[in-house]
Amino acid sequence: MTLAEPKVPTRSPLRHRVRGRILMLLCILYAVSYLDRTAISTAAPSIRADLHLSDTQFGLALAAYSLPYALLQVFGGWIGDRFGPRKVLSILAVAWGLSTLWTGLATGLLALGAARLMLGLSEGAAFPTATRAMSTWLPSDRRGYGQGVVHSAARLGAAIAPLIMAGLIATLGWRVGFVALGVLSVIWSIAWARRFRDRPQDDKRVSATELGELGTQHADEAPGTTSAVERRKVPWRRLVRRIAPVTLVDFCYGWMLWVYLTWLPSFFQDEYGLALAGFALFTSLVLSAGVLSDTLGGMLSDRLLARTRSLRTARRTNLVIGLAGSMLALIPSLLVHNLVVVTISLTLSFFFLELTNSVLWAIPMDIAPDHAGVASGLMNTGFGVAGIVSPIVFGFLIDQTGNWQLPFALSVALLAAGTLLSLRVDPRPLDPEPAPPSATPS
């Protein structure tokens, strides 16, 4: 059976709609989560010195975050689908807030690794569950844009984390920063529980016009009832087969992103002798490129979808341009030892890399909007596995060779592989399961 392309409606408004406020709450969630994740890279030199850790040991502590993060992606997405984003995200935000606070109390490798393990455990289900919320609240023509906006907020959190942590480290010490970030996560949890509802029709602020824009299934369902979507079984075999190429692309993307999030401050310190304020500033400059490109990638993909009416063209184009551009932009950093040139190279590489992020998260909603939590969990398992492998391998190669060229060269090779794998991605919706034959009376 031929897979049909979806009908693409005109662009749906976000202003003067409740969904716009929901998107803003999710933006804050993504920013806070990346503040929590990225702060440790800025604090890395202080933590390694205070806790007497080698690069390899610190890489193991970083990887402890990604082990449960990777393993819980699919299960976490299923939990979000089953129990709803309101309850699940409220609990998770409190849990990772406490884990972040625990990081600030660590006294050795074991305690630090345990804190990062708990953070990965609590954040593992967050983005798949948030994707389920967006699948319910955003019209199909806004999926790429919505994912772009929230991930731009995540990159904003990653970009300002070095500056915030550097200021706190210089004045109060690295431990205070993690305590403050933990409290911030708990505050968000309270706001989310108060303002969000799992179904738009259960929110009194949502008008009939907005429900109509979201789809007839939302308008027709009575409040308090279990929808057909919630009762529908997950088509595991077909879903895994279709998501698998996206997962592999996400691994290649994730490898490079983890390099930026975990090793960039140490790279600027080791290679160019920058002090705390210097490497924090240069790290922020590089990561700020993602604030623009995440939203831009989602907007370009949605507009290409509206123009071509082809999901394959709209999603694949962004993936190929983003990963290939990131690979080419990274090459000068292998050949030149100049702070300005290398910073420009890394910034351009990160800009192109992040053009792909919103598209990677939009594709699971395209393929299986009714099971967006599970589908995005399957996809983001690639990112989680990359988070396990990347910090350990990177730290090991640095310890063994004493230079950064080899791990960066490996990153170039993985970006090339991701570019080729992007051509195998098929984002079109799954065909519905054939209805079972009805029994005929004898």
Closest to 26 measured CA to CA, from 191, 186, 253: 191
In a domain, 238, yes or no: no
Which residues neighbour 49 within 8 Å (Cβ) at sequence distance 6 or greater? none
334-350 residue pLDDT tens: 888 899 999 999 999 99
C-alpha–C-alpha distance, residues 235 and 289, integer Å: 38
* CATH classification of the domain holding 151: 1.20.1250.20
Query: Tokens for 38?
Result: 């990225």
| Type of residue at 64 | A
pLDDT at 222: 40
Given CA atoms 113, 117, 118, 124 in this order, what sign does their dihedral have?
Answer: positive
C-alpha–C-alpha distance, residues 334 and 10, integer Å: 45
Q: Give the count of alpha carbons within 13 A of 212, CB side only.
A: 3
In a domain, 230, yes or no: no
In a domain, 4, yes or no: no
What is the count of structural domains for the chain? Answer: 1
In a domain, 357, yes or no: yes
Regarding pTM above 0.85, the answer is: no
Boundaries of domain holding 353: 18-216+244-422
pLDDT tens across the length of the chain (442 residues): 444 444 444 567 677 788 888 899 999 998 988 887 778 877 877 888 888 888 778 878 877 877 787 777 788 778 888 888 999 999 999 998 898 888 888 888 888 888 888 888 888 788 888 888 888 888 877 777 888 888 888 888 878 887 888 888 888 888 888 888 888 899 999 999 998 998 888 888 888 887 887 764 444 444 443 444 444 688 888 999 999 999 999 999 999 988 887 788 888 888 888 887 787 788 888 888 888 888 888 888 888 888 888 989 999 999 999 999 999 999 998 888 899 999 999 999 999 999 998 899 889 988 988 787 788 889 988 988 888 888 778 778 888 887 888 888 999 999 999 999 999 999 998 865 544 444 444 3
- For 64, 108, 248, the CA distances from 255, given in Å and listed in that order, are 15, 26, 11
3-30 residue pLDDT tens: 444 444 456 767 778 888 889 999 999 8
C-alpha–C-alpha distance, residues 236 and 428, integer Å: 16
Given CA atoms 250, 255, 258, 259 in this order, what sign does their dihedral have?
Answer: negative
C-alpha–C-alpha distance, residues 435 and 220, integer Å: 22
C-alpha–C-alpha distance, residues 251 and 383, integer Å: 5
In a domain, 224, yes or no: no
Q: With both helix axes pointing from N to C terminus, report the angle between 236-272 and 339-354 in degrees, rounded to the nearest 10.
A: 170
Closest to 357 measured CA to CA, from 146, 159, 122: 146
Residue 441 DSSP class: P
In a domain, 429, yes or no: no
C-alpha–C-alpha distance, residues 284 and 163, integer Å: 7
Residue 227 — φ and ψ, nearest 5°?
-75, 165
- For 189, 361, 370, the CA distances from 199, given in Å and listed in that order, are 18, 21, 13
Q: Would you say how long the chain is, in residues?
A: 442
C-alpha–C-alpha distance, residues 359 and 363, integer Å: 6
In a domain, 9, yes or no: no
Closest to 312 measured CA to CA, from 441, 422, 185, 199: 422
In a domain, 395, yes or no: yes
pLDDT at 418: 96
C-alpha–C-alpha distance, residues 248 and 11, integer Å: 31
164: helix, strand or coil = helix
Q: With both helix axes pointing from N to C terminus, report the angle between 276-287 and 289-308 in degrees, rounded to the nearest 10.
A: 10
